[in-house]
Amino acid sequence: MSRALRICEARLGSNHPNTQGSRRSLAAIRQRMGGTASSPSSDSLEHFAPLIAAIAAIANGDETPRQNVTQALAQLEQNGWMLREPVERIWAGERDHAALVAGLDAQDTVLIERVLALL
């Protein structure tokens, strides 16, 4: 993930909004990776805000953060977060709340709902 951030910084510059968003996402993901999968609190949801925003940005056509987000989702999945599949469906255009959260636990459902709210 940090390699992708370095590439983003090199291409867009350190102060570009996409670079800053990627940096915040990476920091939030790294912090979350130190924890365990549990029910989301409002504090933990704030840590996911950059990731949620990046997921929504990709769904709206901005491919810049896609590599970072894809890697983050794979790492989160290893820690019990099952976001990759519904996020990929969102990127493919699906917006049916019930279909996207079917089978997800509370933590994953809340995050998918936050993404949908941004769209």
Q: What is the 3-state secondary structure (H, E, C) of 70-99?
A: HHHHHHHHHCCCCCHHHHHHHHCCCCCHHH
pLDDT tens readout for residues 5-37: 676 677 788 788 777 777 777 676 666 555 444
Q: What is the pTM of this model?
A: 0.66
> How many domains does the chain divide into?
1
**Residue partners of 116: CB distance under 8 A and separation at least 6:** 90, 95, 97, 100
> 1 pLDDT exceeds 50?
no
Residue 104, domain extent: 2-118
Is residue 4 within 8 Å of 68, Cβ to Cβ?
A: yes
pLDDT tens readout for residues 41-87: 555 567 788 899 999 999 999 999 999 999 989 988 887 889 999 99
Alpha carbon 34 to its chain's center: 16
Ramachandran angles phi, psi of 52, nearest 5°: -60, -45
- Amino acid, single-letter form, for residue 116: L
| CA dist., res. 95 & res. 67, Å (int) | 22
Pull the structure tokens for residue 37. 């999968």
- Amino acid, single-letter form, for residue 67: Q
